[in-house]
């Protein structure tokens, strides 16, 4: 059975996290993703511990199903090879700072002369325009400008960084994936390519759907720890158990809150779901005192018997072995030549007919030079073999 993106060729000039995650999503569904790396060390994430078969575990996870070719784009001869490769491509994705590809002579305006149907996606921190266009940055900086980082953490503490990279993945990688797929669909009608400008800051701002609309409507500033889903309500809080573990409570709806209060033996709290802030703080203290009397698993056993939104806060080890994660096959085992069976994160998108597949291990640096150059009809020099 053919894959959804079979026949789509993607040139991946990205490295580190956002771009490789974006192209991994495309490769998992059959796109021919060619990782175009420099001739020195290639993608930085090849290095790092723990190492599997000479490459970091993260690199293996992000770069499965791809091929690798190493080219020096500062060399006129190898730049010609790259342009020949562009002529065969449907999509190009890069994550350099704005202007870098232009200075190399292979920016969008130049490449579309050779391939008018090319979809060119640039994933950057701040986008291709605006006063921050030349600023350097990482995930924490984009979240800072988005107003998101300032809202993370406890009410009277300092802002706390996320455990995962929200702007990199949610604002950059996923928006890039969507942008490319939308452009592919549009190209079927127009026959033309286009430039897809993805800003990780823009993407992070777009995630503020439960916070920003209220401010735009009222001009009332949200406060850390003072929002409905971020510390304001006793019904939506994390509580510590007797064994120094935690449970999360998300009993926002009255029916869930009522059952929660019954289980903890405090039916007097049922009518206080929407109580004022001071009362909410008192309720939290009283609930915490109750939750401290039993272990996490004892509470979960009790709550599993009723219809309410309570969950154990798991460690990564517990998550990997959780029955729901196993049932959904979110941790898959694949056999890699020379390595054996390797566990990795599966693709989260479940299609009924054409599911994502892992058909290639992550490539070695320039592993497919000969294969790809021969596809282009280039005669290899001894130094290129």
My answer on whether omega of the bond before 323 falls inside 30° of 0, hence cis, is no
Q: Is 168 a catalytic residue?
A: yes
The Cα 16–Cα 327 span in angstroms is 30
**Contacts with 102 (C-beta within 8 Å, 6 or more apart), sequence order:** 109, 110
The Cα 283–Cα 361 span in angstroms is 52
- Angle at CA of residue 247, ends 245 and 250, nearest 5°: 165
- Whether 152 contacts 159, CB under 8 Å: yes
Q: How far is CA 102 from the centre of its chain?
A: 27
**Contacts with 4 (C-beta within 8 Å, 6 or more apart), sequence order:** 29, 30, 351, 354
Q: Is 138 a catalytic residue?
A: yes
Closest CA to 170 of 178, 180, 159: 178
The Cα 69–Cα 369 span in angstroms is 5
DSSP, collapsed to helix, strand or coil, labels residue 168 as: helix
Closest CA to 93 of 216, 196, 164: 196
Give residue for tokens 């002369």.
113
What is the DSSP code string of 197-223?
EEEHHHHHHHT-TTTHHHHHHH-PPP-
Considering the candidates 72, 84, 138, 322, report the single residue annotated as catalytic: 138
Considering the candidates 168, 259, 365, 368, report the single residue annotated as catalytic: 168
Catalytic residue set: 138, 168
């Amino acid at each position: 059975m053919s894959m959804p993106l079979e026949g789509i060729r993607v040139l991946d000039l990205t490295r580190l996290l956002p771009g490789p995650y974006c192209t991994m999503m495309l490769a998992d569904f059959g796109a021919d993703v060619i990782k175009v790396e420099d001739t020195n060390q290639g993608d930085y994430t090849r290095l790092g511990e723990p190492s599997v078969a000479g490459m970091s575990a993260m690199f293996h996870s992000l770069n499965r199903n791809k091929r690798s070719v190493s080219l020096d784009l500062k060399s006129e001869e190898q730049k010609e090879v790259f342009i020949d490769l562009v002529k065969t491509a449907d999509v190009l994705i890069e994550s350099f700072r704005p202007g870098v590809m232009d200075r190399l002579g292979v920016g969008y305006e130049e490449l579309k002369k050779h391939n008018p149907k090319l979809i060119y996606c640039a994933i950057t921190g701040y986008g291709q325009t605006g006063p921050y266009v030349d600023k350097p940055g990482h995930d924490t900086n984009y979240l800072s400008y988005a107003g998101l980082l300032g809202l993370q953490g406890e009410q009277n503490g300092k802002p706390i960084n996320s455990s995962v990279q929200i702007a990199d993945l949610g604002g950059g990688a996923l928006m890039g994936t969507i942008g490319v797929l939308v452009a592919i669909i549009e190209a079927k009608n127009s026959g033309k390519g286009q430039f897809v400008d993805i800003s990780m800051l823009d993407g992070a701002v777009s995630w503020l759907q439960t916070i920003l609309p209220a401010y735009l409507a009222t001009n009332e500033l949200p406060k850390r720890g003072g929002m409905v889903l971020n510390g304001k309500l006793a019904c939506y809080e994390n509580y510590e158990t007797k064994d120094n573990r935690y449970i999360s409570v998300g009993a926002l709806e009255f029916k869930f809150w009522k059952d929660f209060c019954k289980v903890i033996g405090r039916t007097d709290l049922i009518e206080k779901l929407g109580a004022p802030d001071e009362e909410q703080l008192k309720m939290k203290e009283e609930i915490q005192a109750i939750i401290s009397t039993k272990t996490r698993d004892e509470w979960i056993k009790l709550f599993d018997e009723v219809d309410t939104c309570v969950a154990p806060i798991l460690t990564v080890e517990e998550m990997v072995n959780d029955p729901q994660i196993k049932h959904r096959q979110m941790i898959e085992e694949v056999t890699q030549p020379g390595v054996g069976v390797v566990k990795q994160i599966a693709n989260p998108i479940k299609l009924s007919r054409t599911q994502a597949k892992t058909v290639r291990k992550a490539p070695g640096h320039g592993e497919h030079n000969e294969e790809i150059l021969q596809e282009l009809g280039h005669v290899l020099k001894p130094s290129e073999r």
